[in-house]
Structure 1
Amino acid sequence: MTSKMTTKVEGNELTLERVFDAPRELVFKAFSEAEHLKRWWGPRGWTLTVCTVDFRPGGVWHYCMKCMDENQGSFYGMESWGKAVYKEIVEAERIAYVDYFSDAEGNEAAGMPSSDIVLLFEEYEGKTKLVNRATYASPEALKAVLDMGMEQGITETWDRLDEHLASVR
């Protein structure tokens, strides 16, 4: 493991940071290309069964994570759909998007919190520091996703990203 994720919660904003032992361009590609995302996105035991990426401002990333791990009890077989609508892309530096829970058709899930996400890819001692800033509508909306286990899910997801980057370097 290159480094552990740091988490900071302030009001309705969540900031996550982690350093990956990989070039910035590769870490950026891992977030922008379906073939990379399919290999690491989601917590352990979950697989992307659907992953379509239209990587441009106004484009959409639509995906389905499915729990394939029988040891996860009632989660086994569960599907979780998500959708990102890209707002801004600066090659190898920044991706801004709105993140939604969705259904299989890409409709936003009613009553579920969305967030504005800014991913920053920074050179750091020959490695890449990834900074994820997520802004929610309210502190309560942020608390709702944290209560769903989102922090553990992202920790496992970024662990899988670290393993994926090591395998393709």
Structure 2
Amino acid sequence: MSENKSVNKLVTRVEGRELIIERVFEAPRELVFSVFSDPVHLAAWWGPQGWETEVHEMDFKINGVWLYCMTCVDKNQGDFFGMKSCGKAVYHEIVVPEKIVYTDMFTDTDYNVLPEMPETVVKMDFLEKEGKTTIITRSQFSTAEALKQVVDMGAVQGVSSQYERLDNYLSHIQ
């Protein structure tokens, strides 16, 4: 699981209990950061292709909470059609427009944390160079097994699809 992979411009690698994902976006850092910190923006692109996201609550500040639920609306996704995937994030560090650190948790549709699912501490760095923004996400898991569980659930493919949506969204709002 430690080899480098590139999927749709996405570069991923595993280091110990950490999943590292990097991607470059053709947009300035302030704009890219803003689409992660504004609930209206997030609802427009968050989640993989064929899924819609409802932001139930978002308090983008230290110790603030973000509650969201994604629903598969694409009938072509078979058994996933109609499925919901909900989550809760608690923000620990925010440095505008450079960094976001939060704990990410799986929840039920009432936003109760699912104890059988792994929690992740996510650190996102936003680096600008020549008008483009590189996002480097480091997702730290409590165990190698928890990391494997999330990877086996399709997390890398989901992020790749989600970042394609983000790319399209950024091109429309610039």
Give the alignment's TM-score, normalised by structure 1. Answer: 0.96
**8 Å contact from structure 1 (residues 23, 126) kept in 2:** yes
Distance in 2 (alpha carbons) for counterparts of 1:131 and 1:140 = 22
* C-alpha deviation, 1:97, in angstroms: 0.1
Distance in 2 (alpha carbons) for counterparts of 1:106 and 1:87 = 19
Q: What secondary structure does 1:129 align onto?
A: strand
Give unmatched runs, 5+ long, in structure 2.
1-7
Paired residues for 1:109-124 under 5 Å: 109-124=114-129
2:39 is the alignment partner of 1:34? yes
| RMSD, aligned CA | 1.0
2:104 is the alignment partner of 1:99? yes
Distance in 2 (alpha carbons) for counterparts of 1:159 and 1:110 = 30
Paired residues for 1:48-87 under 5 Å: 48-87=53-92
Q: What secondary structure does 1:106 align onto?
A: coil
Match of 2:48 in 1: 43
Distance in 2 (alpha carbons) for counterparts of 1:156 and 1:39 = 14
Match of 2:140 in 1: 135
**Percent of paired sites with the same residue:** 50
Q: Name which structure has the greater RCO, CA cutoff 8 Å, separation 6+.
A: 1
Deviations 1:9-31 (A, max 9, x none): 11210110011010100000110
Residue from 7, 31, 36 that aligns with 2:12: 7
* C-alpha deviation, 1:106, in angstroms: 2.2
Give the alignment's TM-score, normalised by structure 2. Answer: 0.93
Larger mean Cα displacement after TM superposition, 118-127 or 158-167: 118-127
**8 Å contact from structure 2 (residues 39, 55) kept in 1:** no
**8 Å contact from structure 1 (residues 9, 15) kept in 2:** yes
2:170 is the alignment partner of 1:165? yes
Alignment size in residue pairs: 167
Residue from 1, 16, 19 that aligns with 2:21: 16
Distance in 2 (alpha carbons) for counterparts of 1:78 and 1:17 = 28
Moved over 6 A (4+): none
**8 Å contact from structure 1 (residues 38, 51) kept in 2:** no
Deviations 1:38-94 (A, max 9, x none): 110000000013442100000011000000001111110000001100000001000
